[in-house]
Amino acid sequence: MRLTFLGTGAAGGVPFYGCTCPACERARGDSRYARRPCSALLESGETRILIDAGLMNLHERFPPGTLTAIVLTHYHPDHVQGLFHLRWGVGDTIPVMGPPDSAGCADLYRNPGLLRFQVLRKFEPLNIGPFKLTPLPLIHSKPTFGYAIEDTGGERIAYLTDTVGLPSRTKCFLREWRPVDLVIDCTHPPQAPSPGNHNDWDRALATIDEIGSARAWMTHLDHSLDAWLLEHRPTLPQGVRIATDNTDVTLAG
């Protein structure tokens, strides 16, 4: 299976509108450092699953028939805003699976257009093509799922945004399930004054340590974390990497 980071940014992305910090200026000068809305593409054979829909050009990027399904972590606008346009069309419907959230976002449920929303239940696996995705509750300001993703070859990756820490049942599941790769919310620099709904650097590292995956990818970075990384250039623990837009994780057992 292959998982490609389409976006690795927090709400607002990098560059952050109007910000002149070193990280934002670097991203303005070199688009390889830009971070778009946090999302990923999961592929194996003919199956293509979009995880989160915050990119605003989905209707141009994914012509009809190119997505098997869209799986949502939650209904905050930076994770669903690309659906507002994508929904209006003709042809085959697009399944959109996500956590139970009666509010959804704006009028997506009332005017779904091509989208067919389906509610997932925590810890009840969903099969799409060669993938089994198990929804894992996270800790966020809206109902939010991470996903334990396994393919028929037994390869395993856990995708966990947006969250601050992990609920104990999710943590227990992951410690037993033992993903090879862990993708984890790492939004703020260490000890941010009020991390709120997202991990800071220290909590992300602690979570990686607790789960014990061989490799881990930090994603959902705020511009302030990129600026902190530029200033401090910390040594990363073995196997831990900072995700960037358009890089991929290819698993081979």
Beta bridge partners of 4: 41, 248
CB of 94 to a copy of itself, least distance (A): 10
Out of 25, 77, 241, 247, point to the residue binding a copy of itself (CB under 8 A).
Answer: 77
* By the rule CB under 8 A, 35 interacts with a copy of itself: no
Q: How far apart are CA 35 and CA 12, in angstroms?
A: 9
Q: How far apart are CA 85 and CA 226, in angstroms?
A: 30
CB of 12 to a copy of itself, least distance (A): 3
* By the rule CB under 8 A, 81 interacts with a copy of itself: yes
* By the rule CB under 8 A, 84 interacts with a copy of itself: yes
CA 11 to chain centre: 12
Instruction: Please list, in sequence order, all residues whose beta carbon lies within 8 angstroms of the beta carbon of residue 20, skipping any fewer than 6 positions away.
Output: none
Q: Looking at 73-81, 121-129, 156-164, 238-246, which segment touches a copy of itself (CB under 8 A)?
A: 73-81
Radius of gyration of the chain (CA): 17
Out of 5, 6, 16, 161, point to the residue binding a copy of itself (CB under 8 A).
Answer: 16
* By the rule CB under 8 A, 64 interacts with a copy of itself: yes
Contacts of a copy of itself in 186-215 (CB under 8 A): none
Beta bridge partners of 221: 9
Q: Looking at 53-61, 187-195, 234-242, 244-252, which segment touches a copy of itself (CB under 8 A)?
A: 53-61
Q: Looking at 101-109, 129-137, 160-168, 232-240, which segment touches a copy of itself (CB under 8 A)?
A: 101-109
Half-sphere CA count of 79, side-chain side, radius 13 A: 25
Question: 197: left (phi > 0), else alpha (psi -120 to 50), else beta?
Answer: alpha
CB of 237 to a copy of itself, least distance (A): 30
Q: How far apart are CA 73 and CA 24, in angstroms?
A: 26
Closest CA to 151 of 42, 41, 39, 240: 42
CB of 21 to a copy of itself, least distance (A): 9
Out of 35, 76, 156, 203, point to the residue binding a copy of itself (CB under 8 A).
Answer: 76
Q: How far apart are CA 64 and CA 61, in angstroms?
A: 10
CB of 72 to a copy of itself, least distance (A): 14
Q: Compare residues 58 and 138 and give the one whose CB is closer to a copy of itself.
A: 58
User: How many other CB atoms are there within 10 angstroms of residue 36's CB atom?
Assistant: 19
Contact 176, 163 (CB under 8 A): no
Q: Which residue ranges make up the site for a copy of itself (CB under 8 A)?
A: 11-13, 16-19, 37, 56-57, 59, 64, 76-78, 81, 84-86, 88-92, 105-107, 113-114
